Amino acid sequence: MSLPDLVGRTPEDAELTLKKKYPKLHYHFVSYIAPISKNEMDTKDIIWLITRQRTVGDNVQEFTISPFYRMSD
Protein backbone atom coordinates (compact mmCIF):
# COMPACT_ATOMS: atom_id res chain seq x y z
CA MET A 1 0.00 0.00 0.00
CA SER A 2 1.34 3.41 -0.94
CA LEU A 3 0.57 6.10 1.62
CA PRO A 4 0.92 9.85 1.23
CA ASP A 5 3.76 11.62 3.01
CA LEU A 6 2.15 13.12 6.12
CA VAL A 7 5.32 14.57 7.66
CA GLY A 8 4.82 18.23 8.54
CA ARG A 9 1.07 17.94 9.01
CA THR A 10 -0.87 18.08 12.26
CA PRO A 11 -2.10 14.80 13.77
CA GLU A 12 -5.70 15.95 13.33
CA ASP A 13 -5.19 16.65 9.64
CA ALA A 14 -3.44 13.30 9.16
CA GLU A 15 -6.28 11.45 10.91
CA LEU A 16 -8.87 13.04 8.63
CA THR A 17 -6.89 11.96 5.56
CA LEU A 18 -6.31 8.44 6.85
CA LYS A 19 -9.93 7.85 7.91
CA LYS A 20 -11.22 9.13 4.59
CA LYS A 21 -8.79 7.42 2.18
CA TYR A 22 -7.54 4.43 4.21
CA PRO A 23 -10.34 3.35 6.60
CA LYS A 24 -8.83 -0.11 7.26
CA LEU A 25 -5.35 1.19 8.12
CA HIS A 26 -4.27 0.98 11.76
CA TYR A 27 -2.07 3.75 13.09
CA HIS A 28 -0.87 5.35 16.30
CA PHE A 29 0.96 8.47 17.38
CA VAL A 30 4.08 8.58 19.54
CA SER A 31 5.17 11.90 21.02
CA TYR A 32 8.80 12.98 21.21
CA ILE A 33 10.05 16.03 23.06
CA ALA A 34 13.76 16.82 23.02
CA PRO A 35 15.13 16.76 26.58
CA ILE A 36 16.57 20.26 26.31
CA SER A 37 13.19 21.79 25.45
CA LYS A 38 10.96 19.98 27.99
CA ASN A 39 11.32 22.70 30.61
CA GLU A 40 11.22 25.65 28.23
CA MET A 41 7.93 25.02 26.46
CA ASP A 42 5.13 27.57 26.69
CA THR A 43 2.19 25.37 25.71
CA LYS A 44 -0.07 28.16 24.43
CA ASP A 45 2.13 28.81 21.38
CA ILE A 46 2.84 25.15 20.56
CA ILE A 47 1.60 23.16 17.59
CA TRP A 48 2.19 19.41 17.28
CA LEU A 49 3.44 18.22 13.89
CA ILE A 50 4.31 14.82 12.46
CA THR A 51 8.08 14.49 12.24
CA ARG A 52 8.39 10.82 11.30
CA GLN A 53 6.24 8.25 9.55
CA ARG A 54 7.06 4.55 9.41
CA THR A 55 5.51 1.13 8.92
CA VAL A 56 5.70 -1.00 12.08
CA GLY A 57 3.70 -4.03 10.98
CA ASP A 58 1.30 -5.36 8.42
CA ASN A 59 -1.15 -2.51 7.77
CA VAL A 60 0.14 -0.50 10.76
CA GLN A 61 1.70 2.97 10.63
CA GLU A 62 3.47 4.82 13.42
CA PHE A 63 3.67 8.60 13.42
CA THR A 64 6.07 10.47 15.69
CA ILE A 65 4.80 13.91 16.67
CA SER A 66 6.83 16.74 18.19
CA PRO A 67 5.97 20.20 19.49
CA PHE A 68 6.97 23.29 17.53
CA TYR A 69 6.46 26.94 18.27
CA ARG A 70 3.61 28.36 16.22
CA MET A 71 4.86 30.83 13.60
CA SER A 72 3.28 34.26 13.74
CA ASP A 73 1.30 35.43 10.73
For the sheet containing 60-69, what is the strand order? 26-31, 60-69, 46-57
Task: Give how far Cα 52 sits from Cα of 9, 39, 72, Å.
Answer: 10, 23, 24
On whether the CB atoms of residues 6 and 50 are closer than 8 A, the answer is: yes
Tens-binned pLDDT, residue by residue, of the chain (73 aa) = 688 999 999 999 999 999 999 999 999 999 998 776 656 656 678 899 999 999 998 889 999 999 988 776 6
Measured distance CA(53)–CA(4) in Å, rounded: 10
